[in-house]
Amino acid sequence: MSCWGGSSRPTSRPDLAYSDWSGVAHGCTRKLGMKICGFLQKNNNVDDKSRIVRFFNDQQPRSILTRDNERDPRFRRTETDFSNLYARDLLPAKNGEEYTMQFLLEVVDILTNYVRKTFDRSTKVLDFHHPHQLLEGMEGFSLELCDQPESLEQILVDCRDTLKYGVRTGHPRFFNQLSSGLDIIGLAGEWLTSTANTNMFTYEIAPVFVLMEQLTLKKMREIIGWPNGEGDGIFSPGGAISNMYSVMVARYKHYPEVKIKGMTAAPRLVLFTSEHSHYSIKKASAVLGFGTENLIFTSDFYCACYLVKWFCCVSAVQGFVPVFVNATAGSTVYGAFDPINEIADICEKYSMWLHVDGAWGGGLLMSRKHRHKLNGIERANSVTWNPHKMMGVPLQCSAILVREKGLLQGCNSMCAGYLFQPDKQYDVTYDTGDKAIQCGRHVDIFKFWLMWKSKGTIGFEKHIDRCLELSEYLYHKIKNREGYEMVFEGKPQHTNVCFWYIPPSLRLLPDGEEKRQRLHRVAPKIKAMMMECGTTMVGYQPQGDKVNFFRMVISNPAVTRSDIDFLIDEIERLGQDL
C-alpha cells in the first residue's frame, strides 16, 4: 500500500533567518522583466526569528518571551528544544502539560507576529509563488506527507512557512474579495471556538452556542423588520448554501410532497433571478433538481415583470409554475440593489416566494444611512445575510433567515434517533440540528456574537458607513481622472467601484475591436504584477460584453484614504507602459 513507503526528506531547516526582501525584487525583475518594487521599506520576515511578545511597559516595547540570554536569568531557561519533541509528547501524554503550553505559546507567538505585520503597510500582501514552485518544495518547507512524524520544531517551521507563502487577507491593501480584514475580537472568537471544538446539532453539547445562535438570528430578523423578530433561521457554511436553503424551503412551502415523492411530483417549477445575481442561485437550481434551464435570468426589473407575467399566464397551458424570485441586495460585481418592494408586489400577486440575497448587501441593514437601499426586505420570505462579508466577521459566517416558522424543520427534518432523542431532561426544542441539511455543523456563531457584544450595533453601523464613504472617495477620485473610465454610471450603491484603467498607449486608439482586445488584457497584466510584487490585490473580471475591468471593494476596517491612493498610484505605476 502506497501510504507505507519510506520517508527520507530532512525534517529541520538550518536557518530560519532568510530574507525575502531580496526575493521580492528578484521575483519582480526575473518574472516580469520590469519594475523594481522599491517602495517596500521593510523585510517581510525579519521578525520571524526573534519571536518576541511585546508588553506595554514604560512606553517601551519589551520582549518577555525572548530567548536572549541578556534577560533576567529566570527566563533564560524558558527555551524549549522542540527538535527532540513530537506530537506524542504533548497532552494527553503523561507530563505533557508543560510541553503543550510551551508549544501553544510558540504558535501564538508566530500568530501574533503575523497579526502585527498584517496591519503594517510595509509588509507585503503576499509572497507570490507558482503552484509548481510550492509543490517542488521551498527551502525547509515541503507539503508532502510522510509515514513518520516530524519534530515539533519542524511543525513550527511549517506554521511559519504556511503563513509566509499565503495571502494576508487582513492587510489594509488587500481588496481582492468581498471578505477582507482581520477583526481582532472575531479572531479571538475563532480561537475560542476551535478550543471548544464542538458541534451545533444539539443543545446537549453546545448549550451556549445554540442559544447565542437563536438570539443573534432573532436580532437579525428584528433588523430585517419581521414583527418581533419572529421566524426562523440557521447559520450555514456560506452564502451559496444559504441561497440553496431558500430555494429548498420555497419548494417545500409550495410542494411539500417533493420531499417524499421527488421533483416528479411537482409541475415544471420556474425560478427567476437577475443576470447580475450570484451564480449560487444557478447552482441551487442544478443541485436541487430544478435544472438550470428553469432558472430565468432577467436583464432588468421590467423584463422580470414581463417574464413573470408571461410564465404565470402560460403555466396553465404548458405546465410551467413560477415559484421563486431572487432579488439581489448588493450584487457581487456592481454592488447593485434590486428594487425589493416592486419585486415583492409581483411575488404577492402571483403567490411566489421572494428571497433576498443580501449576502453582500445585508450588512447595510445595520446603517441608518444606507438601509433604505434594502427597503421592502421585510416583505421577503427569506433572506441570506453574510456577516463574514460587509460586517467583517471572520470566515465563515452566513445566515439564512426565513419568515415563516417551521418550514426549515419541516423541509429538512429526518428525526435521527441517536441525536434527537425526545426523552432528554431539557427542552428539546433547542436541539435545532434537524433543521439543517448538515448533520455536524461548525460553530460559526461565537465570533459574530462576540464582535456584536464588543462593538454594539453602533459599531457595525460606523464600520459600514466608513467603508461606503471610502468607496465614494475612490469614485470621486477617478471618475474624471485621465486614463480611467467607469463601468457603470453614477455613484455606487455599495462599496463596489468598477473601472477600466486605460494605459497611455491605448488612450489615443480609436474605439473598436483592437482597443477592446488590448484593454481586455490590461487588468490581468496589472493584477499579475501586483501579485508578483506583493503590494496590493484587487479583483477584475469581464461582465457580459464588457472587457476585463477592475472591481474595487472595501470591507476592511483597516483601509484608509491613503490605501486607496496607493492602489491608484500602483495601478498607474504598473500599467503606464502597457
Site for its own copies in 127-156 (CB under 8 A): 128-132, 134-135, 143-150, 152, 154-155
Q: How far apart are CA 124 and CA 442, in angstroms?
A: 32
Interface positions, 307-326, toward its own copies (CB under 8 A): none
Residues pairing with 55 in the sheet: 62
Q: How far is the CB of 409 from its own copies (least distance, A)?
A: 13
Distance CA 564, CA 173 (A): 8
Give min distance, CB of 71 to its own copies, in A: 9
Closest approach of Cβ 480 to its own copies, in Å? Answer: 26
Residues 241-280 within binding reach of its own copies (CB under 8 A)? 241, 244, 248, 258-265, 268, 278-280
Laid out side by side, the sheet with 546-552 consists of: 174-175, 537-543, 546-552, 497-501, 484-486
Binding to its own copies (CB under 8 A) within 87-116 occurs at: 87-88, 90-92, 97-105, 107-108, 110-112, 114-116
CA distances from 537 to 331, 394, 451 (A): 20, 19, 26
| Three-class DSSP category at 487 | coil
Q: Which residues, numbered 366-395, are part of the site for its own copies (CB under 8 A)?
A: 366, 368, 388, 394-395
346/452 with CB nearer its own copies: 452
Based on CB atoms, which residue is closest to its own copies, 135 or 314?
Answer: 135
Using CB under 8 A, pick the residue from 62, 372, 405, 507 that binds its own copies.
62
Scan residues 388-447 and list those touching its own copies (CB under 8 A): 388, 394-396, 398, 411-412, 414, 416-418, 421, 423-427, 430, 437-443, 446
State which of positions 160-199 bind its own copies (CB under 8 A).
161-163, 165-167, 169-170, 172, 176-177, 179, 182, 184-185, 187-188, 190-199
Binders in 23-42 for its own copies, by CB under 8 A: none
CB of 86 to its own copies, least distance (A): 7
Q: How far is the CB of 104 from its own copies (least distance, A)?
A: 6
Out of 8, 38, 69, 293, which residue is the one contacting its own copies (CB under 8 A)? 293
Q: Which of 398, 371, 374 is nearest to 386 (CA)?
A: 398
For residues 213 and 200, the answer to whether their CB atoms sit within 8 Å is: yes
* 289 touches its own copies by CB under 8 A: yes
Spacing of C-alpha 490 from chain mean position: 27
- In angstroms, the CA 494 to CA 555 distance is 10
Closest approach of its own copies to the CB of residue 400, in Å: 13
**The three grid cell numbers given for residue 104, joined into one nine-digit string:** 501553544
Q: What angle do CA 443, 446, 452 make, to 5 degrees?
A: 145
Helix axes 21-32, 513-533, angle to 10 degrees: 160
Q: Report the residue from 231, 492, 557, 575 that binds its own copies according to the rule CB under 8 A.
A: 557
Distance of alpha carbon 442 from alpha carbon 396, whole angstroms: 9
Non-local (6+) Cβ contacts of 106 within 8 A are: 51, 80, 82, 156
How many other C-beta atoms lie within 10 A of the C-beta of residue 134? 14
C-alpha cell at 484: 480611467
- The angle formed by the CA atoms of residues 83, 86 and 87, to the nearest 5 degrees, is 145
Shortest Å, Cβ 17 to its own copies: 21
Scanning 48-56, 306-314, 471-479, 484-492 for contacts with its own copies by CB under 8 A, the matching segment is 48-56
